[in-house]
Amino acid sequence: MKLALLLPLCAALALPATAETVIAARTLRAQSVLTPADLRLSDAETPGAYSSVDEVVGLEARVALYAGRPILSGEVGPPALIDRNQIVTLLYQQSGLEIIAEGRALGRAGLGDRLRVMNLASRHTVTGRVRADGTVIVNP
């Protein structure tokens, strides 16, 4: 009998779990690197949005971020190491063979991003992944 009286009391005292969402504190242009001053936390939960400011600080906006709107995972990424039309080093490695060539970047890319590059010697377009030093690794 005591248990039956305590259950409604426990249910009334239970607090709902709250989740937070990272939102832009002000409107930010694409290609802006995010700082703590650019971000705020909102009490609302938004699926697909970041929940911690620490996850977003230091990332680059891929699109314009509007004040008061949640920041979704596809809208930010690592800061670009390579800009469009920049001359980059292409590196092809397989079975002990290593080929190094120069290429022109056909877009912007950050660490680990896939990037299309035009080989300057052959004028063919290849796709590779960007390394930390700005080299583009091209593998078949």
Residue 75 Rama label (left phi>0; alpha psi -120 to 50; beta):
alpha
| pLDDT tens-digit readout, 78-99 | 899 999 999 999 999 999 999 9
Confidence of residue 2 (pLDDT cuts 50, 70, 90): low
Q: Rounded to 10 degrees, what is the CA torsion of 100, 101, 104, 106? A: -50
Residue 45 confidence class, pLDDT cut points 50, 70, 90 = confident
Helical residues (DSSP H) of 34-105, grouped into ranges = 53-56
94: Cβ contacts below 8 Å, ≥ 6 apart: 139, 140
pLDDT at 139: 86
What is residue 90's predicted lDDT score, i.e. its pLDDT? 97
- The residue behind tokens 């060539």 is 101
Q: Which domains does the chain have, with CATH numbers?
A: 19-77 (3.90.1210.10), 80-137 (2.30.30.760)
